[in-house]
Amino acid sequence: MLDDYKIKGPTKKIEVEIEAEVAEKLSVMETTAKLTKSELTNTALKRFISHHKDFLPIGEGSKK
């Protein structure tokens, strides 16, 4: 299951601001799960996107 978190495609750096509590939880999860912040964040965002296709333009929902 941990392989599901590995980043498999090309990557791109972005900068975002998140709430301090979220950042702290992410750091704890990184240590506990032995996954990088990037892997955890990438997986969380992919799950968010898959459940909120209504945020995408019409026709974009079927793309990965």
Residue 58 pLDDT > 70, yes or no? Answer: yes
Q: What is the reported pLDDT for 19?
A: 98
Taking the model in full, what pTM does it have? 0.81
Q: Residue 51 phi/psi, 5° resolution?
A: -100, -5
Closest listed residue to residue 7, CA positions, set 32, 36, 39, 37: 39
- pLDDT tens, 4-56? 899 999 999 999 999 999 999 999 999 999 999 999 999 999 999 999 999 99
Contact 2, 35 (CB under 8 A): yes
